[in-house]
Amino acid sequence: MAESMTETERRLPGVPRSAAADGRREDPALDARDAPGVTDATGVTEADVSAGAHDGREAAALLERTRALVDPELRAAVESLPKAMRRIARYHFGWQHADGTPAAGNAGKAVRPALVLAAADALGGATARTAVARAAAAVELVHNFTLLHDDVMDRDTTRRHRPTAWAVFGEPDAILAGDALQALALRLLAEDPHPASARAAARLADCVVELCEGQHTDVDLEGRAPAEVTLDEVLGMAEAKTGALLGCACAIGALYAGAEEAEVAALDDFGRQVGLAFQLIDDVIGIWGDSRHTGKPVGADLAARKKSLPVVAALTSGTPAAAELAERYARPHRPQEAEAAEEIARTARLVEQAGGRDWAQAEAADRMARAVQELARAVPDPQSADGLLALAEFVTRRTG
């Protein structure tokens, strides 16, 4: 075990400042919303591949194999929907345009189903990897259910380089399409003859409840005064919204490989810690990133008074900068009024002066270290864990 940990730590030494602050960002949902330079149908960019050298290439290959195995299951499930819901789902996945004509867009990076397959492979080999394809598709359907709903709640109008589903078809139809995708996910597992399918369905259902609770907390926090928000609350929200489905994906892969409960739990926590590390990095880039890569105006999160992890860490630091930051965050946010660039820059400096940036980067590195430890518990052999490590590297050192 000690040797395995040493090898793993060499592969994932932590999250350096440069990786989190080079001005390149992926969507908080780990989705190819606005990333430039897409090279193939997986949504992987040239920058993604070059960012981690060996790991980037390995992750890109894993994602491509995942798409080849899972896409047929996804398409078959979507084709079973009634006509109205099928049209919206096809559009959302990038398979057709709003007018119904075929499109060659990508359906996202498929990180979650790739984690399902990599976990099954790590503990059960190629046989388990092939057997888990339907369950991997179910996880991807749940992910896209959350995207459809989140876009409505967040009023996001762009995803994957074009208008979001609700912006094209209206809010009610986008919400209903999301509901339909969730139902398809559970049906895929209910009809799967694999002996682990019932446990996987129960775990995925529990995960959806946790995701909903995380989204509720996120919305609730936005309406509360800065002094009423704690760092533990925001960390818990981030784990529920981002980490839970990554952990569930890994756990389902382990279930299909016939793993013991201790291994399943360890892989669940591995995914959760990777998800938290990603969210911390994403929040840093959301404040200090370059809009040419993020696809969002500079300081958009600060202008919207988002209580992201670096901001809440700064607000709770007890420093003079924290007091001024709290005063600024207490001012009402008026979406129709553009905040001056110098005001946003001043707010970003206050977050940094209060220690929010340094804390987030150190916490991200710590979460990755915890992820490595959990992975070593579940998969002591570094070679078997290689795919999961490559995907962890990919999602936490994103450059697109």
Residue ranges of the chain whose pLDDT lies below 70: 1-55, 292-298, 334-338, 398-400
Residue carrying the six token digits 């919204």? 241
Return the pLDDT at 148.
Answer: 97
Report in angstroms the alpha-carbon separations of 396 from 19, 56, 136, 326. 8, 11, 21, 29
Distance (Å, whole) CA 45 – CA 161: 14
Both tokens assigned to 150: 């989140």
Return the pLDDT at 300.
Answer: 76
Distance (Å, whole) CA 218 – CA 220: 5
Return the pLDDT at 155.
Answer: 87
Return the pLDDT at 160.
Answer: 80
Return the pLDDT at 296.
Answer: 63
Question: In this predicted model, what pLDDT tens digit does every residue of 136-158 receive, in sequence order?
Answer: 999 999 999 999 999 999 888 88
Return the pLDDT at 30.
Answer: 53
> Where do the structural domains in the chain lie, given as residue ranges?
2-396
Q: How many helices (H) and strands (E) does the chain have?
A: 20, 2
Q: How does DSSP assign 317-333, residue by residue?
A: S-SHHHHHHHHHHTSPP
pTM equals 0.86
Return the pLDDT at 356.
Answer: 98
Report in angstroms the alpha-carbon separations of 290 from 22, 195, 293, 324. 8, 48, 6, 25
Is the domain spanning 2-396 CATH 1.10.10.10? The answer is no
